[in-house]
Amino acid sequence: MVARGIRELAAELRQLGRHITIETAGTISPEGIACDLASVSPKLANSTPDAETAGAAWTARHEKTRIQPEVLRAWTSMPDYQFKFVWSSPADTAEIETLIASIGIKIPPEKILLMPEGTDPAALRSREAELVDLCLQRGYRFCDRLHIRLFGNTRGT
């Protein structure tokens, strides 16, 4: 959503009859974007960078902007949408459910996708069973990180 010309590109693709999926953290309003599926991936607390590594200013900015319920609500007005979360522990479950409630409209559980956190197949496997059980209990959808399994933690995949 921050890329220069993204709205114009999406409009041109729409004119060509292409299906448009927008992947977004949900921090910028969808106003004016052509979109068939909004894949909204709000950043949970587990995504906050360490202040020593990333710098205090970046960490503070990330925390201040990562969750914006009114912008997330705007994304639900798209023709189709889903909320996709990177899940690393049971603590994330409560945060996800609090975040979904803060949007202020009922989000059907099948529109919530949970993806295990990890940068290698072993880390993904270590979270899979618990996450699949959670998805089955709550009616959420499990989302694998197939690109990690196939190509590793490689930029551009």
Tell me: the pLDDT tens digits for 1-21?
Answer: 888 999 999 999 999 999 999
* Whether the predicted pLDDT of 102 surpasses 70: yes
Domain tally for the chain? Answer: 1
Number of Cβ atoms within 10 Å of the Cβ of 114: 22
Exposure string for 130-141, b = 16+ CB within 10 A, e = fewer: ebeebbeeeebe
Question: Domain range for residue 113?
Answer: 6-151
Does residue 16 fall inside a structural domain?
A: yes
Does residue 147 fall inside a structural domain?
A: yes
CB-side exposure of 48: number of CA atoms within 13 Å? 17
Does residue 104 fall inside a structural domain?
A: yes
Does residue 156 fall inside a structural domain?
A: no
Does residue 42 fall inside a structural domain?
A: yes
Does residue 1 fall inside a structural domain?
A: no
Does residue 141 fall inside a structural domain?
A: yes
For the segment 63-70, the average pLDDT, to the nearest whole number, is: 87
For the segment 32-36, the average pLDDT, to the nearest whole number, is: 96
Residues with Cβ < 8 Å from 124, sequence gap 6 or more?
116, 118, 144, 145, 148, 149
CATH of the domain at 143: 3.80.30
* Whether the predicted pLDDT of 123 surpasses 70: yes
Q: pLDDT above 70 covers what percent of the chain?
A: 99
Does residue 142 fall inside a structural domain?
A: yes
C-beta of residue 65 within 8 angstroms of C-beta of residue 43: no
- pTM of the full structure: 0.89
